[in-house]
Structure 1
Amino acid sequence: MSKQPTIARIWRGRVRRERADEYEKYNYDVGIAPLIEKALGVQTFREDREHESEFMTISYWEDIPAMARFTGRDPTDIHHLDRDPEFLIELPKSVQIIRLLTSHGKTG
């Protein structure tokens, strides 16, 4: 029986618009690719605005202990990638952890 997600972890960060493409590649290579190997699912989003782009990553987990096994510490703590200070307009201070109540339709 496959594991079902009960928790979603949401991270958001903003970069200057002119560096968005570069950050998107860096974020995938260093942050998202390892996450894909451990989470039950990962979705990434990008919203381009006039002067900035916002990135959002939602990862899905069986439970809080499963997230903790991946992070090696409290999964509610923010983890910055090495080059985040170079790219991000401001370093996020937190992530959002929410319970997944139900899922409808197909998102794959």
Structure 2
Amino acid sequence: MAQKPAVARIWRGRTRPDRADEYEAYNRAYGVPPLEKAALGVQLLREDREEETWFTTISYWADIDSMTSFTKGDPVAVHHLPRDAELLIELPARIQIHRILVDLQHLR
């Protein structure tokens, strides 16, 4: 039986609209693949606004220990990609960790 995710790790960053497509491609190529290999699931979300574009990456984990093993330390510490400083408006200072209370996707 597949493990059910109990914890979500959420990263948010924003870029200028003229760099959004470039950042999306970069994040898909370098940010998402390590998560696909280690997490139970991953989502990359994009919100285009007039002045900025927000990206949200949500990875799903069985527990904090598995997340800590992946991050090799503090799971709330931000691990920036090498080009984040160039492509993002500012470097995100934190990661959010949420316990999953309802997961309807896995009940269907």
TM-score, normalised relative to structure 1: 0.94
Q: CA separation in 2, counterparts of 1:101 and 1:24?
A: 29
Residue 77 (structure 1) aligns with = 77
Residue 100 in 1 paired to residue 100 in 2? yes
Provide the residue aligned with 2:23 in structure 1: 23
Deviations 1:14-70 (A, max 9, x none): 000000000000011111111111100001110011121000011000000100111
Amino acid at match of 1:99: R
Partner of 2:58: 58
What SS does the aligned partner of 1:76 have?
A: coil
- SS of residue paired to 2:82: coil
Aligned identity (percent) is 57
RMSD: 1.0
1:28-43 matches, within 5 Å, as 28-43=28-43
User: 2:7 maps to what in 1?
Assistant: 7
1: CA distance, partners of 2:45 / 2:59 = 12
Q: Which runs of 5+ in 1 are unaligned?
A: none
- Secondary structure of 1:19's partner? helix
Large movers: runs of 4+ above 3 Å: none
Paired residue secondary structure (1:51): coil
Aligned counterparts of 2:62 and 2:104: Cα–Cα separation in 1: 18
